[in-house]
Amino acid sequence: METSRTGRQRARSYVNIQEILRYGLLLGLGICAYLLVMQWTEDYGGATPPASSDDAPLVVETDDPFAMDSVGDEVPVIAAESGDVPDASLVRRSRAEQSSAQQISREGDLISVGTPLMRMKIDPVAGDIRLVELLEHPISLEYPDVPTTLLQKNTNRTYIAQSGLLGEDGFDGSPTKPRYSVPQLNYEIVDLPQDIVLTTTRMVDTGEVTVRKIFKIDPQQYLVEVVHEVENRSTEPFVANLFAQLTHDGRRGETTTFLGPRPYLGAALTTNETRYEKIGFDDVEEERFREEVDGGWIAILQHYFLSTWVVNDNANYLYYGMRDSAGKYRFGLTGPENVVYPGETGEFALHFYSGPKTQRTLDAIADNLELTVDYGILWFLSVPLFYVLEFAHGLVGNWGVAIIILTIVVKLLLYPLSAMSYKSMARMRTVSPQIKRIQERFGGDRQRLSQEVMALYRKEKVNPMTGCLPMLAQMPVFLALYWVLYESVELRQAPFFLWIQDLSIMDPYFVLPILMGASMLLMQMLNPPMPDPMQQKMMKLMPILFTILFVFFPAGLVLYWLMNNVLSYAQQYYVTKRVESAAASSKTVAPK
């Protein structure tokens, strides 16, 4: 009697665990699906072409009510902002005072630099970079002639890059910002690197100091070296601190759908303790960020692109982030004091990059800069997945075909686990008629039903839970690939074939999601039916729910899941037929 009771208890426990695992799997799939929807932020709607930077009026930020009259009402002007350089608290061992002067430049006075990759505009006042347009990255496929604009200064947007010399003798921290002279205002740099030299000279009590701000432009790169060359012709040492900063108004340039959140917009840097640290705009609303770092870089990130200042040495720099009184966010760095002695020429140099988040390019610029391609917590899977994709793309020249190759590689790696699971599911199919007879016989007695089903599983050496393993094993890969498609600029506007012209956005005609749903339905036909009628109904709804869900996913991700289902179906069909054939053969062999 006691043995029978113990057996029934074990049966109930086994079935309860089985049901808990099944519901847990369904819940896990639902949570993963929800998280994927909440993370997908690509703009599915038509893009609105932005106003050309040449046509957009430039904002005047000045306290002088006669500023417009001084240059003519018909000419829009741009102002150097009051207090837009780091204050004395951020310049170490310095007696610098914050600038309060207002200088303005006519739009026509801005220095225009064009290369095959980008167009840049530099303000001769302080040498600030006021515009960066990426010519090889159109805003959308609908507007192939409208480049993506990163840096810009107009009435609607402020995103600029500044650098200069502060401290005891620094020109940028003095009451009047330097206005540089330049040989010409328009540069077209096509073949060979070229230096754009901005020059200013200031008389001091003991002589004359000339500062040349040199932009070293390589037409084949987005990376620009910015050198502040100081020629000290006075009789006293020239003491200054290098500074560089990015100023952003916090507004987003991209739109999103109602389903997904926005991509990260904020700052990031590398520190002595952390390879990659994000500093969101909201993190500096109430309190400044300050961190001393040996060497390093600081960047402002957005979807697919970034702008960053990178220092050239491993000296100790003070990195900072703040929200100023005008509501703008400033992230930058100040260097240690450097001295240029009388009769000598010294250099204060660093690099500026404003362009796509291409991993290999960023890795070559600075340590840990490639981490700005942020794959999240599954980066250890996303990185090798991306490199497999990149290698496959190098072979076939099509990112869609590369995704198919990646799917095959993943299926091969998971083959032992999948084969074990499919064999278990095939055995489940062979015992399904027996389970059905047990249900008909003991449907009114759940304890006896559970006991008989458990005994049948033991006899046939069947574990229904192993059928869930392929799905569980696929989910981390699925999520990691999602981040690859979401973050990798290489896949932005990458075509597949026919109507799929951008693998990073949804299928415009929903063909791939429908095929994916159909493949899920075929997969279910090979699986043994669930013993619980409610579970059966839920499983039947899964292809419909996933089809609706995948409509909003990037086409590349749906392509991966579709090909995974096709390969899984072929493998499962093969294994199932072999197991069923072996089971049928064993029944036809009469015992001696």
In what order do the strands lie in the sheet containing 194-204? 194-204, 207-217, 223-232, 345-356, 305-311, 297-302, 266-269, 277-280
The pLDDT of residue 525 is 74
Domains in the chain: how many in total?
Answer: 2
The pLDDT of residue 540 is 74
- What is the bridge-based pairing of β-strands 316-323 and 329-340? antiparallel
Q: Are residues 208 and 354 in the same domain?
A: yes
Confidence of residue 528 (pLDDT cuts 50, 70, 90): low
Q: Are residues 278 and 418 in the same domain?
A: no
Adjacent-strand bridge partners of 317: 293
Last residue of a domain, one of 314, 348, 374: 374
The pLDDT of residue 590 is 47
CB 463 within 8 A of CB 457: yes
pLDDT (tens digit, 9 = 90+) per residue, 232-247?
999 999 999 999 999 9
Task: To the nearest 10°, report the CA torsion of 26, 29, 35, 41.
Answer: -130
Q: Are residues 402 and 476 in the same domain?
A: yes
Average pLDDT, the chain: 79
Highest mean pLDDT pick, 19-33, 505-519, 568-582: 505-519
In a domain, 43, yes or no: no
Higher pLDDT among residues 32 and 545, named by residue:
545
Last residue of a domain, one of 340, 374, 408: 374
Instruction: Specify the DSSP class assigned to residue 132.
Output: E
Highest mean pLDDT pick, 102-106, 155-159, 477-481: 155-159
Tokens (6 digits) for 66:
């006669």
Dihedral sign, Cα of residue 288, residue 293, residue 295, residue 301: negative
Q: Are residues 263 and 354 in the same domain?
A: yes
Among left, alpha and beta (phi > 0; psi -120 to 50; other), residue 535 is: alpha
Q: Are residues 336 and 252 in the same domain?
A: yes
Domain span at 455: 2-38+383-583
The whole model's pTM is what?
Answer: 0.76
pLDDT (tens digit, 9 = 90+) per residue, 241-272?
999 999 999 988 665 544 544 688 999 999 99
In percent, how much of the chain has pLDDT > 70?
A: 70
Tokens (6 digits) for 128:
């600030």
Least confident piece of the model among 81-95, 230-244, 420-434, 543-557? 81-95
- Mean pLDDT, range 181-190, rounded to an integer: 94
Does 531 score more than 80 pLDDT? no
Name residues whose C-beta falls within 8 Å of residue 145's C-beta, 6 or more positions apart in sequence: 138
Higher pLDDT among residues 50 and 360, named by residue:
360
Confidence of residue 87 (pLDDT cuts 50, 70, 90): low
Q: Are residues 280 and 161 in the same domain?
A: yes
Confidence of residue 22 (pLDDT cuts 50, 70, 90): low
Report the Cα 439 to chain-centroid distance in Å.
52
The pLDDT of residue 52 is 45
Burial of 110 (0-12, 13-18, 19+ CB in 10 A): buried
Confidence of residue 461 (pLDDT cuts 50, 70, 90): low
Q: Are residues 274 and 415 in the same domain?
A: no
Among 132, 162, 158, which residue's Cα sits nearest to residue 334?
162
Confidence of residue 14 (pLDDT cuts 50, 70, 90): very low
The pLDDT of residue 417 is 72
φ, ψ of residue 392 to 5 degrees: the values are: -65, -40
Instruction: Specify the DSSP class assigned to residue 565.
Output: H
Does 542 score more than 90 pLDDT? no
Last residue of a domain, one of 374, 391, 410: 374
In a domain, 62, yes or no: no
Q: Are residues 387 and 355 in the same domain?
A: no
Rg of the chain (C-alpha set): 32
Does 365 score more than 90 pLDDT? yes
The pLDDT of residue 68 is 30
Taking the alpha carbons at both ends of the chain, their separation in whole angstroms is 37
Q: Are residues 423 and 529 in the same domain?
A: yes
Q: How far apart are CA 558 and CA 42, in angstroms?
A: 14
CB 569 within 8 A of CB 561: no
- Which spans in 341-396 are helix H? 359-365, 379-396
Q: How far apart are CA 467 and CA 21, in angstroms?
A: 11
